[in-house]
Amino acid sequence: MKFHPDPVSAQSIQSYGANWVQFGDTRFDHSVVIASNGERFDWNCCRFEDLTPAHFEQLAALQTELVIFGSGARLRFPAASLLQSLIGQQIGIETMDTQAACRTYNVLASEGRHVAVALLLEN
């Protein structure tokens, strides 16, 4: 039996480190949002403590089925009050450290899922 890889239409995160990610030919050393449809934008947040409901409203506007939140070098859960825009639109959210979020995003995007990853890269 000969195996062939499934074609992947979504771009993936090529590599990552403690405070950076490489997506396509661009290296990010600041917080960023990447969606499986190719959309990406800077996420204007430098520290976990600075997160506001507006940050999660940006994610809800993507209208994905799931948001993966990379909370930085360690696992930290945002307060439920910050997530109301996602909850109101019935968009799932999974929280994990940023490196685990990168791996999970790659798997789900390669399966053709409509997901986004919000990576908090603290410097």
Task: Determine the pLDDT at residue 11.
Answer: 80
Q: What is the pLDDT of residues 49-107, one digit of tens each?
A: 999 999 999 999 999 999 999 999 999 999 999 999 999 999 999 999 999 999 999 99
Task: Reply yes or no on whether the pLDDT at 111 is more than 60.
Answer: yes
How far, in Å, CA of 104 to CA of 84, rounded?
A: 23
Give the global pTM. Answer: 0.89
3-state secondary structure of 109: helix
Here the tokens at position 38 are: 């190719």
Q: What is the pLDDT of residues 6-59, one digit of tens each?
A: 655 678 999 999 889 998 889 999 999 999 998 999 999 989 999 999 999 999
* DSSP one-letter string for 19-42: TEEEETTEEE-S-EEEETTS-EEE
Instruction: Compare 95 and 4 and report the one with higher pLDDT.
Output: 95
Please answer whether residues 65 and 37 qualify as being in contact, where contact means their C-beta atoms are separated by less than 8 angstroms. Answer: no
